[in-house]
């Protein structure tokens, strides 16, 4: 089963995904249990709001990446071990993506438009 398919099933999103990186992690989760996983991280862009399947997703929230970074620093135990481990790599890949986009725009700042209101403030428009 593909990540794109599972994203549709779990979050109700139809998005083209690109694999960014993989990583290994091993964590003692208590009671003699250990998670030992090889994980794949994918990126995609959507202007849809998720419609999660309650049987798959208990909670979700849109959070700016800077806010998530601060929350991970202040309260790391509130987040899964795999997120804490891979977050810096996620940020690195996203920054590289923005650098590539900026280079394509001949050094002009990149604006990622999320909604029409933001489009009016992007690039002085």
pLDDT tens for 15-41 read: 899 999 999 989 898 899 998 999 999
* Domain span holding position 64: 3-124
**Mean pLDDT score, 94-110:** 69
Residue 10 sits in a domain of what CATH number?
Answer: 3.90.79.10
CA proximity to 52, closest of 2, 114, 8: 8
- CB-CB neighbours of 86 under 10 Å: 19
pTM of the complete model:
0.71
Q: 32, 26 in Cβ contact below 8 A?
A: no
66 closest CA partner among 23, 95, 103, 41: 95
pLDDT tens digits, one per residue of 59-94: 888 888 889 999 999 999 998 888 999 999 999 988
Give the C-alpha separation, 55 to 59, whole Å.
Answer: 11
Domains: count for the chain: 1
Question: What pLDDT band is residue 96 in, cutting at 50, 70 and 90?
Answer: confident
> Could you count the other beta carbons within 10 Å of the beta carbon of residue 59?
5
């Amino acid at each position: 089963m593909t990540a794109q398919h599972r994203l549709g099933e779990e979050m109700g999103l139809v998005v083209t995904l690109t694999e960014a990186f993989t990583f290994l992690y091993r964590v003692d989760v208590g009671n003699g249990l250990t998670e030992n996983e090889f994980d794949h991280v994918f990126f995609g862009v959507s202007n849809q709001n998720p419609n999660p399947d309650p049987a798959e997703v208990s909670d979700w929230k849109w959070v700016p990446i800077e806010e998530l970074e601060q929350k991970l620093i202040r309260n790391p135990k509130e987040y899964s071990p795999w997120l804490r481990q891979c977050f810096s790599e996620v940020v690195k890949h996203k920054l590289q993506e923005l650098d590539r986009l900026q280079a394509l725009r001949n050094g002009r700042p990149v604006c990622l438009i999320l909604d029409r209101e933001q489009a009016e403030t992007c690039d002085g428009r």
